[in-house]
């Protein structure tokens, strides 16, 4: 099944195309060997004649055939435009002479042979040593150099991607902090400026104050280095994040454990569902997906592909169908099929679109009719490139849909990330995973210390 998917996404053009049937082949089939070509040109054209596969590539490639046909002359189309016969032989061949049993050879070769001294081979010239001291620019002689080994580990580890993603935040912040404390001692003014910098990095007032308080208690009135601030910053952020860095708990007494995935448009819901399904079905759980984003045909197709890739079942309906109805049916179907986990995708919506938020409320309500505890997990995806607006997103989705867990996506891009600290300090919602790429494996459990150190710009 996975191979079917690959086959749809990639074209495997290394596989040589099958030779077309003789009657499909162009009558001007060209044999690559020039001598054979010349010989063929003198023979009566036999369009049904086939050429062994291994001699076909030149003639089989239509672009190449056209290039050959037009080398030094007008294209077939141009010839047609000029009213010329397009059936003429494709290749401008040298003049030939019939020499009986030997068939035909180029006249030029016969003339060259006639000029040779007795016993001298016509190809002897090729064997003479040549002066190769003046090759054209761009060429060199000597054995071909060994190809250089590809650099190891071209694909970054997820942690390197996280660090790279947060590097804009961290390098900007650490640069400003270093500049702030150059030739200045820690006093009220520098503490206030530091607090501003931390707030500008989206960390939130509460965490900014924790950091400045700790720094003041350690080093007030003394010199401070950027490294001191980074260390304290990482420690304080870790303290904020540790309580929310939790594993996603599945209560398999429910069967299925229902996960509803919500969030603003493009925050990575569908992709994250695919990644989650891959983890769960890879662990042997029976997963069902529900294509609850009934607004976009592409979203339904996208989820179907993820279902196929992850060996999950999928329930989908027509474009524009009632999303709550679909969620209800999917829940029933998952029960019938004894799925372990049902993951329901929803259309992206801005938190200020009241009617769309009401639809989300309805999905939750309808699921609750089948099981008062359902949906058991309501996951919200947050795009790490978003700043302060993410705080507001959590606030509203939490109120409307009962969000009880977060996943931050796109931490591999030019992420801001600091906002997750502010959200964690305020909402204390579990952060289960982080997205660090678009691939199926690019979802990592959230680790408080790793994240904190990446923001604080602390190297390994
Ligand atoms: N770099 C990166 N891209 C991601 C990540 N997660 C999702 N994306 C990309 O973000 C884009 C939007 O992802 P979707 O999964 O379609 O988002 P969605 O929330 O379902 O979108 P809507 O259905 O429009 O609301 C896609 O191009 C994804 O490949 C991630 O962790 N890193």
The DSSP result for 128-164, as a single string, is S----SSPPTT---SSPPPPPPPPTT-SPPHHHHHHH
Would you state the structure tokens that stand for residue 65, as one six-digit string?
């055939």
371 is in an annotated binding site: no
Average pLDDT, integer, range 79-93 = 39
pLDDT in tens, 23-69: 333 333 333 333 233 333 333 333 333 333 332 233 333 333 333 33
Residue 167 has a pLDDT of 85
Residue 303 confidence (pLDDT) above 80? yes
Nearest CA to ligand 1 atom 14: 268
Q: In angstroms, what is the span from residue 383 Cα to ligand 1's centroid?
A: 9
Cβ distance 245 to 433 under 8 Å? no
Q: In angstroms, what is the span from residue 361 Cα to ligand 1's centroid?
A: 23
Ligand 1 atom nearest the C-alpha of 274 is 15
266 is in an annotated binding site: yes
Nearest CA to ligand 1 atom 26: 268
Average pLDDT, integer, range 353-363 = 89
Higher pLDDT pick, 141 / 36: 141
Residue 253 has a pLDDT of 85
Distance separating alpha carbons of residues 129 and 39, to the nearest angstrom: 31
Mutate-to-test residue for ligand 1 from 261, 268, 293, 345, highest number of ligand atoms within 8 A of CB: 268
Picking from 52, 50, 79, the residue whose alpha carbon sits closest to that of residue 66 is 79
pLDDT bracket for residue 256 (50, 70, 90): very high
264 is in an annotated binding site: yes
Residue 181 has a pLDDT of 87
Residue 94 has a pLDDT of 36
130 is in an annotated binding site: no
pLDDT bracket for residue 88 (50, 70, 90): very low
Name the CA dihedral angle for 204, 206, 212, 213, rounded to a multiple of 10 degrees. 180
Distance separating alpha carbons of residues 168 and 412, to the nearest angstrom: 11
269 is in an annotated binding site: yes
Longest CA–CA span in the chain (Å) reads 108
Ligand 1 binding residues, C-beta < 6 A: 263, 265-271, 293, 299, 348, 409-410, 412-413, 435-438, 442
Is residue 188 classed exposed, middle or buried when 0-12, 13-18 and 19+ CB atoms within 10 A define those classes?
A: exposed
Ligand 1 atom nearest the C-alpha of 434 is 31
pLDDT bracket for residue 146 (50, 70, 90): low
Q: pTM of this prediction?
A: 0.69
């Amino acid at each position: 099944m996975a191979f079917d998917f690959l086959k749809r996404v990639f074209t495997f053009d290394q596989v040589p195309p099958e030779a077309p049937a003789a009657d499909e082949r162009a009558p001007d089939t060209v044999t690559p060997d020039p001598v054979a070509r010349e010989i063929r040109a003198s023979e009566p054209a036999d369009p049904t004649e086939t050429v062994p596969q291994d001699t076909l590539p030149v003639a089989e490639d239509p672009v190449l055939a056209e290039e050959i046909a037009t080398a030094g002359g007008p294209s077939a189309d141009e010839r047609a435009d000029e009213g010329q016969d397009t059936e003429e032989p494709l290749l401008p061949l040298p003049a030939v002479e019939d020499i009986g049993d030997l068939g035909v050879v180029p006249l030029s070769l016969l003339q060259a042979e006639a000029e040779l001294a007795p016993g001298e081979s016509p190809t002897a010239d090729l064997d003479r040593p040549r002066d190769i001291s003046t090759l054209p620019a761009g060429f060199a002689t000597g054995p071909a150099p060994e190809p250089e080994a590809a650099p190891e580990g071209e694909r970054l580890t997820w942690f390197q991607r996280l660090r790279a993603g947060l590097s804009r935040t961290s390098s900007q912040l650490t640069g400003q902090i270093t500049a702030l404390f150059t030739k200045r001692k820690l006093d009220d003014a520098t503490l206030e400026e530091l607090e501003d910098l931390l707030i500008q990095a989206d960390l939130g007032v509460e965490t900014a104050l924790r950091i400045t308080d700790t720094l003041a208690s350690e080093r007030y009135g003394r010199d401070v280095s950027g490294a001191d601030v980074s260390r304290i910053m990482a420690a304080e952020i870790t303290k904020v994040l540790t309580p929310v860095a939790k594993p996603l708990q599945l209560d398999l007494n429910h069967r299925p454990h229902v996960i509803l995935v919500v969030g603003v448009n493009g925050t990575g819901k569908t992709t994250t569902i695919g990644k989650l399904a891959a983890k769960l079905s890879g662990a042997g759980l029976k997963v069902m997906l529900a294509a609850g984003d009934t607004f976009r045909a592409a979203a339904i197709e996208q989820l179907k592909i993820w279902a196929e890739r992850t060996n999950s079942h999928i329930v989908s309906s027509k474009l524009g169908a009632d999303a709550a109805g679909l969620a209800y049916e999917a829940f029933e179907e998952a029960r019938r099929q004894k799925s372990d986990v049902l993951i329901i995708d929803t259309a992206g919506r801005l938190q200020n679109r009241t009617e769309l938020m009401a639809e989300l409320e309805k999905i939750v309500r309808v699921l609750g009719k089948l099981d008062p505890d359902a949906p058991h997990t309501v996951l919200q995806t947050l795009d790490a490139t978003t700043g302060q607006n993410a705080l507001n997103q959590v606030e509203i989705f939490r109120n409307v849909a009962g969000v009880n867990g977060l996943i931050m996506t796109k931490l591999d891009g030019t992420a801001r990330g600091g906002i997750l600290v502010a959200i964690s300090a305020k909402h204390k919602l579990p952060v289960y995973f982080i997205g660090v790429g678009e691939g199926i494996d690019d979802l990592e459990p959230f680790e408080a210390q790793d994240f904190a150190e990446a923001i604080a710009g602390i190297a390994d």
